Amino acid sequence: MNNEYKNNTILGPINSWIFNVLSGYMDYIFGKSKRALFKNHPETVVEIGAGTGANMRYLKKGTKLIAIEPNIHMHTNLKRSADKYGIHLEIKTLTGENIDLPDNSCDFVASTLVLCTVHHPVACVHQIKRILKPSGVFVFLEHVRAKENTILAFIQNIIHKPWHWFFEGCHTNRDTEALLEQAGFSALSMEKYHAYSPFIPIMPQIRGRAIK
């Protein structure tokens, strides 16, 4: 979701290819959690950082997806995924901090492994709250900063700079858990857990839903 990748002719296409190739494996790691989060979603879904469309497999056929995706190099695979899963797709080449949807207009917003990448996460969450209708739902699955003074935290800190450069501006050690707790949602249900994989820097994770 980092805007610098929007027109990056090297890293933009590379990330699009990597995310597309890893789609099946990421479903293996996170699919059960995502299916639970997207269960009973409404006819229209707004996704922050839709990438190459990995989450479309969890949507009902015929769903309208408003995809907030600033990386133009993702768009071809995003459209292919929409065709594959029967999704009505609208792409907005915007960052999560600059969503152009009206106030109180959306029932359901989702982000998965995206809030780590935005330049200004507080502003992005503010935008999510702004566009949600009263009692609208925000579902999320994100990786977060590890506990202080642990080996995992050490790894996150050491690898942060190259990881951040290569993977769409991803912060391996962002405290997204605290960000959501402080965001002022009327209700927040959040679970911290470990989905183990070779991608050690993106452990642990949080999953849950917030109500405006």
- The 10s digit of each residue's pLDDT in 38-79 is 999 999 999 999 999 999 999 999 999 999 999 999 999 999
* Token output for 83: 């065709």
Collapse the DSSP code of 147 into the 3-class scheme (helix H, G, I; strand E, B; otherwise coil) and give the result.
coil
Spell out the residues 6+ positions from residue 65 whose beta carbon is closer than 8 angstroms to its own: 44, 45, 46, 47, 50, 56, 59, 82, 87, 88, 89, 90
CA dihedral 117, 57, 12, 108 (to 10 degrees): -40
**In the predicted model, is pLDDT for residue 5 greater than 50?**
no
* Residue 208 to residue 117: CA distance in whole angstroms: 19
Whole-number average pLDDT of the chain: 94
**In the predicted model, is pLDDT for residue 156 greater than 60?**
yes
Average pLDDT over residues 199-208: 96
Confidence of residue 2 (pLDDT cuts 50, 70, 90): very low
Beta-strand pair 64-68/106-112: unpaired
Q: What is 3-211's CATH topology?
A: Rossmann fold (3.40.50)
pLDDT in tens, 83-92: 999 999 999 9
Confidence of residue 158 (pLDDT cuts 50, 70, 90): very high
Domain residue limits, the chain:
3-211
Measured in Å, how far apart are the chain's first and last C-alpha atoms? Answer: 23
Question: In the chain, where do the E strands start and end?
Answer: 44-48, 64-68, 88-92, 106-112, 132-143, 187-193, 205-211
Confidence of residue 7 (pLDDT cuts 50, 70, 90): low
pLDDT-above-90 percentage for the chain: 90
Closest CA to 78 of 108, 56, 48: 56
Q: Kindly report whether the peptide bond that precedes residue 204 is cis, defined as omega within 30 degrees of 0.
A: yes
pLDDT in tens, 20-39: 999 999 999 999 999 999 99
**In the predicted model, is pLDDT for residue 117 greater than 80?**
yes
pLDDT of amino acid 6? 53
